[in-house]
């Protein structure tokens, strides 16, 4: 399971075999069954999670009982409740597996130690943080300035790998529209 993270870090951060050994020493392998929780709302997010295989989601249940999906993560993606991970406060979201998954976990203190010991890992983390910030900003701008159709088209263009793996009602939740609205948008798109 670690091999997928090793390849990812070798290609993305240029880590040497010795540096990868340092990462391996602090990495915890875990298998999740479909619908199994990795993190529940109210508990601190103490791990940064790398998805080796499978698909996970980060979501929150609103006061009205509606599910609001904040993020999906598939192979070679990271997922955590970022605020909880950085502050140690209880998580406001829940992470669960949408399919049987294999993940690699690194505790917060170990992740921080890796950034201090391995300068390339620190630079890689900074690039990852910047990409996450950019994606969050794009998502906010999309939600406040685009129609449901534009959001859907951008979603399938930007994330084609999710199309066959994520149920329609979850895509709707991620896009901030009702399932009925998304069904109508999809039908119009398929006709054109």
> What would the pLDDT profile of 45-99 be if each residue is shown by its tens digit?
999 999 999 999 999 999 999 999 999 999 999 999 999 999 999 999 999 999 9
Q: Are 81 and 92 in contact (CB under 8 A)?
A: yes
Q: Which residue, among 70, 56, 59, has the nearest Cα to 101 in the 3D structure?
A: 56
What mean pLDDT do residues 161-184 have? 93
Question: CA angle at residue 68 from 62 to 72, to 5 degrees?
Answer: 150
Model confidence pLDDT, tens digit, residues 121-143: 999 999 999 999 999 999 999 99
**Sheet (strand 37-39) strand order:** 37-39, 94-97, 55-61, 67-74
Domains of the chain: 1-132 (2.60.120.10), 146-191 (no CATH)
Across 34-173, where does the E strand assignment appear? 37-39, 47-53, 55-61, 67-74, 78-79, 94-97, 101-107
Continuous segment of H or E residues that includes residue 11: helix 2-13
Model confidence pLDDT, tens digit, residues 176-190: 999 999 999 988 888
């Amino acid at each position: 399971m670690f091999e997928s993270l090793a390849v990812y870090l070798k290609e993305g951060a240029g880590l040497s075999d010795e540096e990868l050994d340092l990462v391996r020493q602090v990495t915890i392998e875990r298998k999740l069954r479909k619908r199994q929780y990795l993190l529940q709302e109210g508990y601190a997010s103490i791990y940064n999670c790398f998805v080796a295989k499978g698909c996970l989601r980060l979501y929150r249940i609103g006061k009205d009982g509606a599910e609001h999906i904040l993020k999906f993560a598939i192979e070679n993606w990271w997922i955590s409740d970022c605020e909880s991970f950085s502050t140690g406060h209880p998580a406001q979201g829940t992470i669960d597996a949408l399919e049987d998954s294999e993940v690699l976990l690194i505790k917060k203190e170990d992740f921080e130690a890796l950034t201090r010991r391995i300068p390339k890992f620190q630079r890689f983390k900074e690039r990852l943080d910047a990409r996450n910030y950019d994606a969050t900003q794009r998502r906010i701008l999309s939600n406040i300035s685009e129609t449901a159709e534009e959001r859907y088209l951008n979603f399938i263009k930007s994330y084609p790998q999710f199309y066959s793996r994520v149920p329609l009602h979850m895509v709707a939740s991620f896009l901030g529209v009702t399932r009925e609205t998304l069904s109508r948008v999809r039908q119009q798109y398929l006709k054109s």
